[in-house]
């Protein structure tokens, strides 16, 4: 029997790890009802549907991506996902029929990939064919690396095999899977209503279990570099429910070779809902603030802060958070930042738009944190990141920042703002300034750094300075948007279009009157 593998991804960027695991952070839960954005929970938005107990995901003949969001697994934290999925033995004729379609399921892979050191682990669950064990069992396999890249024959020490666990094999078999970087996979499954669920970990008495544990540890916890962030994938494998596929014998084109799973909970956030409306009781998450490239931070200079969408993004801001996440309404998150100066003075940047202009006025150690809030009012604040602000080389333009725009008028004198510069010791440094017209030609400056623009367009003003020893320098660039002077109207001026129209109408009326008088 042919089969097709499809990848399903729960979408949680940096999931909030909603069960209070962030002890150092301020978390508020409001339990407010919101509409869950299915397109942000599962990447395959076209093949998902809200059902009362959770989010149903349909897959089978399409290849797809993974979770778009990420999970924090630092300091012992773990990812937890609960889902229901049909699990039947390979040769079973029992399948799920819904709305005239047949859904069959016999393999589900939970794939966890490290974003710190490219480690990968896979937990595979499937219904046994009944040849080795009783057909009411669920078989499990844990690997270090993808099963499709490294088979047991090629990498025998990277597969924990022969894990046979009693479970209920029916259309809504429950699976409760967790992942952390100490025990790695922990899987419990069985009937929702019984206490017969079983626990599985990589190490123990299973075949090659200890070898897999050691391989996973080397991948996710290399010396001096503990894994902190993971991305999670689900891969479903469907088979045609008939002896022969109805479409050219190819299961990949059989619309009925489809798998179905229902995701019921992610890290404590229940997806039980009424037409997509659910209670959001989980705080979102944002990764701690970092300084890009250990950059030196100077006082009285502007810096930017950004929240990236992925640990793999190549952001350009001076301060950054690797990612933010929320299970229910990721695109509806709001952010604020707070900086505490050495004197204890607090400065708040209340919206994300304010993150582009961070200025530190005091010398010494500062503290910065970011707060993320979801649509339901749940919030999370990162631990404070400390950094030192030093004097550095400072070039400043009075009243303006780099990139600002000044307005001007053709023919009217413009006096350039004054500028000053100091080196890291506080010694004054000379400042040079030049102006380029809209065509890139340098403009001659008059007394007091003034000039009269002769053409409309954007002029560029460039201030430069360097320290006496040439070890440090700075540049500030301003723009001057110059417009034409407005023409004045008055006595003796040309008639405007509207006045001409009025006079023409009056003249036409007089001519008609004279014609009528002549008969």
Residues 235 and 143 in one domain: yes
Write the CATH number for 57. Answer: 2.60.120
Query: Residue 131: inside a domain, yes or no?
Result: yes
Query: Residue 180: inside a domain, yes or no?
Result: yes
- Distance (Å) of CA 387 to CA 341, 369, 425, 465, 497: 10, 11, 20, 26, 65
Query: Residue 519: inside a domain, yes or no?
Result: no
- Distance (Å) of CA 105 to CA 23, 127, 165, 291, 504: 40, 9, 18, 47, 84
Tell me the three state secondary structure of residue 30. coil
Write the CATH number for 448. Answer: 2.60.40.10
Question: How far apart are alpha carbons 271 and 53 in whole angstroms?
Answer: 7
Residues 213 and 361 in one domain: no
Tell me the three state secondary structure of residue 400. strand
Q: Which of 255, 280, 305 is the last residue of a domain?
A: 280
Query: Residue 496: inside a domain, yes or no?
Result: no
Residues 35 and 144 in one domain: yes
- Distance (Å) of CA 314 to CA 69, 303, 369, 516: 16, 17, 21, 83
Query: Residue 56: inside a domain, yes or no?
Result: yes
The answer to whether 390 touches 363, Cβ cutoff 8 Å, is yes
Residues 433 and 386 in one domain: no
Question: How far apart are alpha carbons 68 and 459 in whole angstroms?
Answer: 44
Question: How far apart are alpha carbons 251 and 376 in whole angstroms?
Answer: 43
Query: Residue 514: inside a domain, yes or no?
Result: no
Query: Residue 490: inside a domain, yes or no?
Result: no
Q: Count CA within 13 A, CB hemisphere, residue 198.
A: 13
Question: How far apart are alpha carbons 228 and 219 in whole angstroms?
Answer: 12
What's residue 441's pLDDT? 96
CA 158 from chain centre, in angstroms, equals 32
Residues 163 and 297 in one domain: no
Residues 379 and 475 in one domain: no
Residues 323 and 381 in one domain: yes
| Sequence-separated (6 or more) residues with CB below 8 Å from residue 518 | none
Find, among 486, 87, 15, the residue nearest to 284 by Cα. 15
Residues 361 and 430 in one domain: no
Query: Residue 422: inside a domain, yes or no?
Result: yes
Neighbours of 353 (CB within 10 A): 9
What's residue 406's pLDDT? 95
Residues 382 and 399 in one domain: no
Q: Which of 390, 424, 453 is the last residue of a domain?
A: 390
What's residue 373's pLDDT? 95
pLDDT per position as a tens digit, 179-214? 999 888 877 765 433 333 344 555 544 566 677 788
What are φ and ψ of residue 514, in 5° steps? -65, -40
The answer to whether 212 touches 143, Cβ cutoff 8 Å, is yes
Tell me the three state secondary structure of residue 441. coil
Question: How far apart are alpha carbons 437 and 459 in whole angstroms?
Answer: 5
Q: Are strands 346-349 and 297-298 parallel, antiparallel or unpaired?
A: unpaired
What are φ and ψ of residue 188, in 5° steps? -125, 130
Q: Count CA within 13 A, CB hemisphere, residue 485.
A: 10
If you search the block for the tokens 């939970």, which residue do you land on?
Answer: 110
If you search the block for the tokens 């339990």, which residue do you land on?
Answer: 31
Find, among 34, 86, 23, 90, the residue nearest to 375 by Cα. 34
Domain that holds residue 413: 394-483
Radius of gyration for the alpha carbons in the chain, expressed in angstroms and rounded? 33
What's residue 133's pLDDT? 38
What's residue 41's pLDDT? 75
Residues 399 and 379 in one domain: no
Residues 242 and 129 in one domain: yes
The CA angle 356-466-475, to the nearest 5 degrees, is 30
What's residue 298's pLDDT? 92
Averages of pLDDT over each 10 residues, the chain, 519 residues: 38 36 51 84 71 82 56 90 68 54 64 83 67 50 70 54 48 79 76 42 58 83 86 72 51 55 90 94 92 90 90 87 87 94 97 94 96 94 96 90 93 95 90 96 94 96 93 92 80 44 44 50
Q: Which of 280, 305, 321 is the last residue of a domain?
A: 280
pLDDT per position as a tens digit, 240-289? 555 555 555 444 445 555 667 888 999 999 999 999 999 999 899 999 99
Neighbours of 459 (CB within 10 A): 21
- Distance (Å) of CA 368 to CA 35, 176, 260, 286, 337: 32, 37, 45, 13, 7
Instruction: State the total domains in the chain.
Output: 3
Q: Are strands 259-266 and 54-59 parallel, antiparallel or unpaired?
A: antiparallel
Residues 209 and 135 in one domain: yes
């Amino acid at each position: 029997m042919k089969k097709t593998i499809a990848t399903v991804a729960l979408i949680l960027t940096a999931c909030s790890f909603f069960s209070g695991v962030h002890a150092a952070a301020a978390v508020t839960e409001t339990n407010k009802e919101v509409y869950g954005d299915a397109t942000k929970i599962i990447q395959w938005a076209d093949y998902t549907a809200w059902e009362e107990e959770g989010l149903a995901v349909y897959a089978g003949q399409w290849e797809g991506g993974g979770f778009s969001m990420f999970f924090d697994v630092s300091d012992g934290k773990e990812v937890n996902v609960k889902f229901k999925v049909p699990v039947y033995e390979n040769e079973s004729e029992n399948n799920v029929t819904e709305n005239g379609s047949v859904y069959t399921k016999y393999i589900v892979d939970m794939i966890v990939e490290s974003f710190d050191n490219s480690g990968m682990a896979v937990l595979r669950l499937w219904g046994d064919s009944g040849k080795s064990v009783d057909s009411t069992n669920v078989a499990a396999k844990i690997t270090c690396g993808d099963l499709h890249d490294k088979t047991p024959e090629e990498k025998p020490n990277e597969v924990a095999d022969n894990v046979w666990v009693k479970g209920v094999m029916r259309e809504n078999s429950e699976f409760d899977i967790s992942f952390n970087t100490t025990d790695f996979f922990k899987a419990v499954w069985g009937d929702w209503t019984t206490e017969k669920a079983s626990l599985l970990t990589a190490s123990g008495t299973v075949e090659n279990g200890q070898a897999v544990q050691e391989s996973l540890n080397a991948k996710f916890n290399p010396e001096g570099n503990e894994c902190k962030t993971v991305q999670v994938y689900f891969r479903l494998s469907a088979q045609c429910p008939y002896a022969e596929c109805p479409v050219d014998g190819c299961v990949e084109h059989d619309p009925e070779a489809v798998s179905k799973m229902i995701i019921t909970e992610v890290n404590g956030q229940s997806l039980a809902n009424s037409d997509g409306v659910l209670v959001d009781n989980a705080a979102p998450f944002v990764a701690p603030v970092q300084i890009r490239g250990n950059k030196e931070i100077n006082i009285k200079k502007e810096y930017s802060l950004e929240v990236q969408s992925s640990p793999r993004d190549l952001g350009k801001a001076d301060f950054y958070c690797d990612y933010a996440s929320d299970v229910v309404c990721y695109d509806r998150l709001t952010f604020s930042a707070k900086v505490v100066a050495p004197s204890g003075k607090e400065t708040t940047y209340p919206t994300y738009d304010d993150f582009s202009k961070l200025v530190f006025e005091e010398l010494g150690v500062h503290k910065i944190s970011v707060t993320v809030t979801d649509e339901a009012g749940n919030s999370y604040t990162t631990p404070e990141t400390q950094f030192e602000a030093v004097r550095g080389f400072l070039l400043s333009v009075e009243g303006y920042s780099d990139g600002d725009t000044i307005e001007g008028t053709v023919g009217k004198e413009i006096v350039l703002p004054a500028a000053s510069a100091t080196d890291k010791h506080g010694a004054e440094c000379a400042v040079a300034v030049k102006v380029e017209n809209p065509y890139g030609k340098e403009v001659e400056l008059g007394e007091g750094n003034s000039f009269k623009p002769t053409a409309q367009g954007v002029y560029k003003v460039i201030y430069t300075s360097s320290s006496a020893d040439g070890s440090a320098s700075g540049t500030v660039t301003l723009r001057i948007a110059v417009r034409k002077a407005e023409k004045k109207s008055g006595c003796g001026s040309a008639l405007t279009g509207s006045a001409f129209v009025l006079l023409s109408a009056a003249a036409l009326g007089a001519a008609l009157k004279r014609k009528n008088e002549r008969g």
